[in-house]
Amino acid sequence: MKPTLTLLTARLLVPLAALQAADHTPYPVAKFAVEHAVINQVYPQWSPKMGYNHDSDITKFKGRYVAVWNANPDIPEESRPGQLNYLSVSDDFQHWSVPVAPFTSKGGATNPVDSTGTSLQWQPNFINLRNETLFSAWCVTGPQAATYVSKSSDGIHWENLRITDQLPKSYDSAASPKATPFPSNHGLLTKSGTMLFPICLAPSKMPEGKPLQVCALISKDEGKTWHYGEFTPVLPVEKFLKTSAKKPASPEMVHVWEPHFFEHPDGKIGLLIRVADKKDGLTADQMILYAESIDGGMNFSTPRTVDIETISSRHQSFSMKQTSSDLTMVANDWLLDYPRSLRDRHYLATYFSPVCDPDLLIPGPVIQQRGTAGHYPNGEINQGEMIISYSYGVKPRAIYASRVTGLPDYKTPFFLRRESRPAVTIDEKTQVATFTETFSSLGLVLTKELTEQNQLALDFTVKLMSVPSFYPGQTKDEAVNGMTLLTIGALDHHNTQIRVSRPLPPYHVEVLKDGKWVKLAEVGVREPIRLSVSLSESSYSVQVNDLKKVTFPGNLMRKINFGGFYVDPIPYPSAGTFELDLKSVQVR
């Protein structure tokens, strides 16, 4: 059962720019320092020129930044002869060495794996073992298909180990015949010293074979031996379809790809999985699956969907980095298939939760270099510094990196601006936030203690500045849909919203209950609106100004966002704006 909230009565405030002394010091707005770097480009003047780059990872090992990725120096396409894994290092994050193929004879590897022209190297991923030994898991597809874990004591010279452990009986060979275990993301080093690399399956032939299962590649002896955990079950698409979705004419299975792990405070292993393609009927909030293991990654529960709207692309998570319980993720905070599949990989953003519950992750600042697509993030958080490498642009792509400092410490609640949407502007002097569009939003990330309370209280005051107008010819009437002031919970369950609606005054304040809007009050423009919502394990109540509190049955997810968090962007101004007095926001 999800934790629940209680939002208590707000105090009457004078106009938002002239706040009374009773207002408390506002919670901070998360502000990060982001430093960008180019690891490798595809421009002809770049030396050496790479025709194709993708699938990178980055770590900091013995004081030096180390990046790896798969690339082709000659052909600007994926899966073409000559594709190898490459490595580059930097002492200062800005200046990177000439890439080398570290796992080959030319790269000086022990037990080298060289290109044959028909076999391709893929997707190297790191685990840094106590800054003593650096491990990288990767694979070869083609006639010499195999999975490898390489190790290095300096990040430059590598010894390759071919993994010969047999796949477990849970591997469905009929669904993915002759599949190659395919390391997908940055690995996990647990508190107990166990190493886990996430594995998906690359079938030998498509479309006859499909990527339908994932597992862990595990070592409990500091990399001396490795073995596979059990695979997740094959998942029918029909199991995940919402009631409004049309069932497929014939049975289909969910394609899963690029899993990654994080650790819970109690030692459980969390598994997040990318849904590899959008099957008919699956929606943006079904693009990430989640499962847990209570036995160190050997067995996982049946995956379920995560309450995050995103695209189908790789993402990466980190746990217990800023506190003993927090969870961070980097993923694309954009619209699924907009403008179309594989062209929707925009706005690599940071997501934050005070506890290791992926459903509570809230998107915030964008950390990629702006200007084009940024996707396939990978990396780590180390001593308060997040380093992420990613693919930049569409094919043939470049490899870029971001170094992020100033991450939240969760000692107090904090606001999180969603930068993939029209920005919420904040007046630093008055501490008033202006929501410039109906789809602008500002998250409120709680502390662990507040998240785990049986009851919680939130007070806030808003001021309606303008209401959405109706434009002739538009496909959706924003004036009728109204302007969302507060969103609590998931997209379509354990949730509610509070909005202002009606195209003409007096405007209605309404609350969403079981898909229907319930009128609470009538309000005007440019006047303070004080709101209270109380949530318990079995009910929640809402109060506007000094009117009677209205109570509804229901258990709401503890995920708070001001503004239109689940409102789809539109390609023209909505003419709907409101102000939130940050000094009035109190949670307890």
Q: Work out the pLDDT band at 169, boundaries 50, 70, 90.
A: very high
| Average of per-residue pLDDT values in the chain | 91
In the CATH hierarchy, which fold is given to the domain comprising 47-164? Tachylectin-2; Chain A (2.115.10)
Residue 469 has pLDDT above 80, yes or no: no
Return d(Cα 274, Cα 216) in angstroms, integer. 15
CB atoms within 10 A of CB 174: 8
Find, among 93, 157, 152, 144, the residue nearest to 115 by Cα.
144
User: Residues 416-449: pLDDT tens digits?
Assistant: 999 999 989 999 999 999 999 999 999 999 999 9
Amino acid sitting at position 511: V
pLDDT: is 18 or 569 the higher one?
569
31 burial type by CB count under 10 A (0-12 exposed, 13-18 middle, 19+ buried)? exposed
Architecture of the domain spanning 424-587: Sandwich (2.60)
| Max intra-chain CA distance, the chain | 77
Beta-strand pair 483-488/560-563: antiparallel
Q: Per mean pLDDT, which range of 263-267, 418-422, 469-473, 527-531 is the poorest?
A: 469-473
> Is the predicted pLDDT of residue 248 greater than 50, yes or no?
yes
* Rounded-to-integer distance, Cα 1 and Cα 20, Å: 39
Q: How far apart are CA 73 and CA 435, in angstroms?
A: 47
Share of the chain above pLDDT 70, in %: 92
**pTM score, whole prediction:** 0.93
- The model's confidence at residue 265, banded by pLDDT at 50, 70 and 90, is very high
Question: pLDDT-based confidence at 19, cuts 50/70/90?
Answer: very low
pLDDT value at residue 207 = 56
Over 80: is that where the pLDDT of 228 sits? yes
- 260 to 257, 339, 377: CA distances (angstroms): 10, 27, 12
As a whole number of angstroms, the distance between CA 103 and CA 536 comes to 56
Question: Where do the structural domains in the chain lie, given as residue ranges?
Answer: 47-164, 424-587
For residues 40-78, one letter each, b for 16 or more C-beta atoms within 10 angstroms of the residue's C-beta and e for the rest, the string is: bbbeeeeeeebbbbbbbbbbbbeebbbbbbbbbbeeeeb
DSSP string, 329-375: EEEE-S-TTSSSTTS----EEEEEESSS-GGG-EEEEE-SPTTS-EE
User: Residue 572: what pLDDT?
Assistant: 76
C-beta separation of 150 from 136 below 8 A: yes
SS (H, E, C) 323-334: CCCCEEEEEECC
Contact assessment for residue 58 and residue 69, using Cβ atoms and an 8 Å cutoff: no
For residue 275, pLDDT beyond 80: yes
Structure tokens at 229: 């955990």
pLDDT at 6 over 80: no
CB atoms within 10 A of CB 426: 18
Query: Residue 9: what pLDDT?
Result: 32
- Please check whether residue 66 is in contact with residue 134, taking contact to mean a CB–CB distance below 8 angstroms: yes
Q: Tell me how crowded residue 404 is: count the other CB atoms within 10 A of its CB.
A: 21
pLDDT of residue 477: 58
Taking the C-alpha atoms of residue 156 and residue 150, their distance in angstroms, rounded to an integer, is: 11
Which residues 6+ apart lie within 8 Å of 193 measured at CB? 220, 222
Residue 145 per-residue DSSP state: -
